[in-house]
Amino acid sequence: MRQSRYHSRASRNQRRAPRPRLGQLLRDANTRAHQRANRRLGRRHGLTSMRAAIDGLSIYDEIETLQWPARLMRWLFALALLPLCAITSMTLFTINEIGQQDASYWLQLLKSREFLFFFTGMFLMGSWFFSKLLENFFLYLYVLGHELTHALTVYLCLGHVSSIKVSTDGGYIMTNKSNLFISLSPYFVPFWSVVVMIIAALIGHFTSFRYQEELLYFAIGGSWAFHMLWTIWMIPRDQPDLKENGTFFSLVIIYLANVSVILCMMVLASSILTWSNVLNHWLNQGQLFYSMSERVFTRVISLF
């Protein structure tokens, strides 16, 4: 059973939860009893269980954690991925070095009409997020996208989803398939941006209208900001999904995946960047990182 629960009643800025009333305690106890029964039933049918929570108010008392050998292996693998994170980040931050003649990527990007609409969408969504207007509505959309991402990745992994539930109080899917990709995909797949691009492609196939591309960039900017803001807000809130896969390991994977997604979006939106020159730049940054690491290591060794 794949089960993700989101508690949206607490304010985003709430630092200390009030003491729960007797009725709330009874409802929580009843919910835990149902969850334990569902997990036992799921195990009988060969289903697996994973969970997530918001606001650090997880009511799950049976988080499945990794055994120490598996935890150690994931820590070592996460450490091995840190150089890739650094190289990919260096590639992103130095992408201005890729250009044609005197052209600068960032300069051309800032001057482009597409970036203007993309940034406007991001700015408006960010302003809406921090204003907390229609907070429950956007929370519902995020939970819906989160669970649908889990469901789609289950099908991509040839699994089966038996049920799905989404509400402002929480959401879950039940599935017979569970792996790292399914578990962490909502943290780096901008679901609503993908939906926007699919809808735009379908509309573009049948008709065209004025400002069609500008509207697309505006919608992608808003939906991507929506994904990033809610994901950043959710991750620190004691996510059982991250704990079950190893928190440090999960965060490294999430960071590397998101930076890679940003690079891919830049290539798709740019007339200067190509897959080949970005890859070559990434390899050059890898060589630079290796040289820097070698010099630092040599200097540290010389101190002893």
Q: What is the pLDDT of residue 115?
A: 85
Q: Spell out, as residue ranges, where the chain has pLDDT lower than 70.
A: 1-66, 99-103, 238-240
List pLDDT tens digits, range 231-276.
888 888 766 677 778 889 999 999 999 999 999 888 877 777 888 8
**Residue whose tokens read 């994170």:** 85
Which amino acid is present at 88?
T
Q: What is the pLDDT of residue 21?
A: 59
220-to-25, 78, 200, 259 alpha-carbon distances in Å: 42, 31, 10, 17
Q: What is the pLDDT of residue 96?
A: 79
270-to-95, 111, 118, 188, 227 alpha-carbon distances in Å: 12, 12, 13, 21, 22
Tokens found for residue 18: 């009030």
Task: Give the residue among 83, 78, 71, 72 at the shortest CA–CA distance from 253.
Answer: 78
* DSSP sequence for 250-302: HHHHHHHHHHHHHHHHHHHH-SS--HHHHHHHHHHHHHHHHHHHHHHHHHHHH
Q: What is the pLDDT of residue 177?
A: 85
Q: What is the pLDDT of residue 89?
A: 95
**Residue whose tokens read 């940003």:** 262
Task: Give the residue among 141, 144, 179 at the shortest CA–CA distance from 159.
Answer: 179
Dihedral sign for Cα atoms in the order 215, 220, 223, 229: negative
* DSSP sequence for 28-56: HHHHHHHHHHHHHHHHHTT---B---STT
Dihedral sign for Cα atoms in the order 252, 140, 225, 207: positive
Task: Give the residue among 125, 129, 123 at the shortest CA–CA distance from 12.
Answer: 129
Domain boundaries, the chain: 22-302
SS3 of residue 63 by DSSP: coil
Q: What is the pLDDT of residue 123?
A: 95
96-to-80, 142, 270, 272 alpha-carbon distances in Å: 27, 33, 12, 10
3-state helix, strand, coil in the chain (%, to 5): 65, 5, 30
222-to-58, 63, 188, 190, 215 alpha-carbon distances in Å: 29, 34, 16, 11, 11
Q: What is the pLDDT of residue 113?
A: 84
Query: Angle at the Cα of 53 (from 2 to 66), degrees rounded to 5?
Result: 60
- CB contact at 8 A, 14 and 55: yes
Separation of alpha carbons 39 and 35, rounded Å: 6
pTM above 0.95, yes or no: no
